[in-house]
Amino acid sequence: MDAVDNSQRYHEIRPMPETPETDQLSSRVINVIAKTQRIPAESIAPDSTFNQLKIDSLDGINIIFALENEFGIEIPDEGINNMRSVREVTEGIEKLMAAKAQTTSPGAV
């Protein structure tokens, strides 16, 4: 068993988010994961890994699907392999949203 002792994790000092936007994005990601996994959002920290949260590949597909709906983006298969923690997911989504803004902004035709 690779049970994780979560009791300490929640009291860890979390690194300061880089920007308020990232913080907001991160909490949206956490909410999606919490809802999909049916676990309390408080049990998820910005640097929780999927392993720690006991998220397996099938759960991962569900979460990615819910994130695509939440943010109106498409996450490519290749991207999933680099999304193994809340932080990695948040960073990945940030990039995809930036790319999307670029292609849809009227000035960037």
Partner 1 sequence: MNRVAVTGLGLVCALGNNVEESWRRLLAGECRIAPLSDEGNPPYKFSKGAEAWGFRPHEHFSEKDLVMLERFAQLATVAAREAVGRSGLRFDRELADRTAVITGSSVGGQFSEEEGYQRLYREGNPRVAPLTIPRTMANAGASRISLEFGIHGPTYTVSTACSSSNHALGQAFWLVRGGAVRAAIAGGSEAVFAEGLLRAWEAMRVVSPDVCRPFSADRRGLSLGEGAGMLVLENWEHAHARGARVYGEIIGFGMSSDAHHLTQLCVDGPAKAMTWALQDARLSPERVGYINAHGTGTQANDTTETEAIRAVFNSYADKLLVSSTKSMHGHTLGAAGAIEAIATLLTLQHSQIPPTVNYTTPDPACNLDVVPNQARSAPVEIALSNTFAFGGLNASLIMKRFAG
The contact set with partner 1 (CB under 8 A) reads 56-58, 61, 64-65, 77, 80
Choice between 10 and 65, CB closer to partner 1: 65
User: Cβ of residue 59: shortest distance to partner 1, in angstroms?
Assistant: 11
Choice between 21 and 74, CB closer to partner 1: 74
Q: Which of 92, 5, 69, 89 is nearest to 43 (CA)?
A: 5
User: Cβ of residue 80: shortest distance to partner 1, in angstroms?
Assistant: 7
Contact criterion met (CB below 8 Å) for 93 and 25? yes
User: Cβ of residue 46: shortest distance to partner 1, in angstroms?
Assistant: 25
As a whole number of angstroms, the distance between CA 109 and CA 102 comes to 9
Choice between 76 and 102, CB closer to partner 1: 76
Instruction: List, in order, residues 6 or more apart from 48 with CB less than 8 Å away.
Output: 9, 85, 86
